[in-house]
Amino acid sequence: MQKILVANRGEIAVRVMRTAKEMGIKTVAVFSEADRNMPFVRYADEAVCIGPAPSSQSYLRADKIIEVAKQVGADAIHPGYGFLSENAAFSKAVSDAGLIFIGPTAYSIEMMGSKIAAKQAAKKFNVPMVPGTEDPIQDVAEAQGIAARIGYPILIKASAGGGGKGMRVVNSEAELEQQMQMAKSEALSAFGNDDVFIEKYVGAPRHIEIQLMGDQHGNYVYLFERECSIQRRHQKLIEEAPSSCLTKDIRKAMGECAVAVARSCNYHGAGTVEFLVDEDLNFYFLEMNTRLQVEHCVTEMITGIDLVKEQINVARGNKLSVSQDDLKINGHSIELRVCAEDPMNNFLPDTGKLEMYQPPKGPGVRVDDGYEQGQDIPIFYDPMIAKLVVHAGTRDEAIERLCRAIDEYYIQGIQTTLGFGKWAVRTEPFRSGKFDTKFIDKYFKPEYLQEEDPAAVEIAALLSGIVWEEKKQQKKTVVESANGIGSNWKLKRK
Ligand code: MV4
């Protein structure tokens, strides 16, 4: 493998290219018209424009991307996350074109893409699951029977869904028929498939996932867990490794279950098995993500393994470079997703220009970012502009390091999730490790981020004094004089 085409954009494209470069592999960027001036385009050895800004006309154009790969003589394609990364047809088309897809086969992607097929496969290996069904529900009568057996509340889930899409909570039999019809019609229009299944609804679970790697020779390792409970509308905001709630034994049991799920679909490459964990630390298989994930960095920090390097290694047909016994957890890592969103306004995307952009530095700080100062954040893609990842000896030290890095992070021109992150890790539930997927709903209020900065208050007071004096002496308007001195004093809001 001498040349990799990266079928993605932004921070993950740079992330993949960095490792390729270290391995002496050439890189090719493909980019949309909106991304012409992005760092990932410059970072690549070659770059080809593949179409207009909308993803459907660029980053989702499987045919075009494969054509470019052949033209430039690439021998592999890395899909990153999102876009075509979990598209079974793309994996197959890449292989059929005689190229290496750096990821699992179409067979694995398809099986895990169907939540029902995934549950059936996992069940054969005695992987624990929430009480419910592993077959599509045929009709309302069947659903009523199952719900009565497992007890309300229940959750109706779309088999083709995942990541929270196509789920409906049903609290009583009276709601069942209508909710099931809605779930089915939603699933049909969103995924083109209306198979649904039922699970007992777990009220306030933790979301913990296991990172694994498999090679093409049937070898697997798990790289421990990531705690991903701090999320909003199924969008993760803070991830950490290890989780503060698992014991050594549960970690091992979950790791072995994750490997069993991977084995059940002949998986190879990097994959993640998601679990729900309840208050009593019972864990239940949810689904498998057949891609490298956004939050893979926290696993890299605590294991010292470069997951992209390992992906490339196994895609080449080599054996895994590590065995389970080689892997140890070293310290603690936390990641904050830095998104162009306004936490004070319902986390709505806040696009605009990065007027100022200065990432933090120093010991134990890693920033994977995709933009630089002066650039516009396009409206066409995901609002995540960077990942702030810290690593330290203990969880408490990692929290302090994250706060220090957030304070150093200087962004102007757009609202971001930085201030939210600092608030979140300083709360008592986060500090004590006692939180679940309801954390933001339960504890967050936008006004927590509106606290006046004492320094800002003092500067404002001093300025108004100066302006007042000038006004008195020169009989000029406040606005005129304030424009001269005041405009650069607008403090960053975090
Ligand atoms: C659940 C659940 C409660 N009970 N399943 C959401 C994402 C998808 N992977 C599965 N999800 C859930 N499945 C049962 N039986 C609650 C969720 C859930 C959730 C899971 C992980 C992280 C955040 C979540 C937020 C809301 C609901």
pTM across the whole model:
0.92
Domain boundaries, the chain: 3-102, 131-200, 206-450, 459-493
Transcribe 328-367 into DSSP letters.
---SEEEEEEEESEEGGGTTEE---B-SEEE---STTEEE
User: How far does residue 286's CA lie from ligand 1's centre (Å)?
Assistant: 8
Cβ(202) – ligand 1 distance below 6 Å: yes
| Domain topology for 131-200 | Dna Ligase; domain 1 (3.30.1490)
Structure-token pair, residue 255:
């790791």
Quickly count: other Cβ atoms within 10 Å of residue 301's Cβ: 24
User: What pLDDT tens digit does each residue of the chain (494 aa) get?
Assistant: 999 999 999 999 999 999 999 999 999 999 999 999 999 999 999 999 999 999 999 999 999 999 999 999 999 999 999 999 999 999 999 999 999 999 999 999 999 999 999 999 999 999 999 999 999 999 999 999 999 999 999 999 999 987 777 799 999 999 999 999 999 999 999 999 999 999 999 999 999 999 999 999 999 999 999 999 999 999 999 999 999 999 999 999 999 999 999 999 999 999 999 999 999 999 999 999 999 999 999 999 999 999 999 999 999 999 999 999 999 999 999 999 999 999 999 999 998 999 999 999 999 999 999 999 999 999 999 999 999 999 999 999 999 999 999 999 999 999 999 999 999 999 999 999 999 999 999 999 999 998 666 677 778 788 888 888 887 787 655 444 444 444 444 444 44
- Tell which atom from ligand 1 comes closest to the C-alpha of 199: 15
What are 77's strand-pairing partners? 5, 101
Give, for ligand 1, the residue of 116, 210, 272, 286 to mutate: max count of ligand atoms closer than 8 Å to Cβ.
Answer: 286
Catalytic residue among 291, 366, 395, 401: 291
- Residue 134 near residue 120 (C-beta atoms within 8 A): yes
User: In terms of DSSP bridges, do strands 3-6 and 26-32 run parallel, antiparallel, or are they unpaired?
Assistant: parallel
Separation between Cα atoms, residue 67 and residue 48, nearest integer Å: 11
Residue 62 CA to ligand 1 center (angstroms) comes to 31
Centroid of ligand 1 to alpha carbon of 476 (angstroms): 61
Q: How far is CA 331 from CA 74, 328, 367, 393, 435, in A?
A: 38, 10, 18, 4, 21
CATH class of the domain comprising 206-450: alpha beta
Classify domain 3-102 at the CATH class level.
alpha beta
291 is catalytic: yes
The distance from CA 38 to its chain's CA centroid, rounded to whole angstroms, is 21
Nearest Cα residue to 157 out of 146, 141, 170, 145 = 170
Mutate to test the pocket of ligand 1, among 86, 198, 206, 207 (most ligand atoms within 8 A of CB): 207
DSSP 8-state code for residue 35: G
Q: Whose CA is nearest to atom 9 of ligand 1?
A: 163
Look at ligand 1, atom 11, and give the residue with the nearest C-alpha. Answer: 164
Residue environment code for 216-243, b if the CB has 16+ CB neighbours within 10 A, otherwise e: beebbbbbbbbbbbbbbeebbbbbbbbb
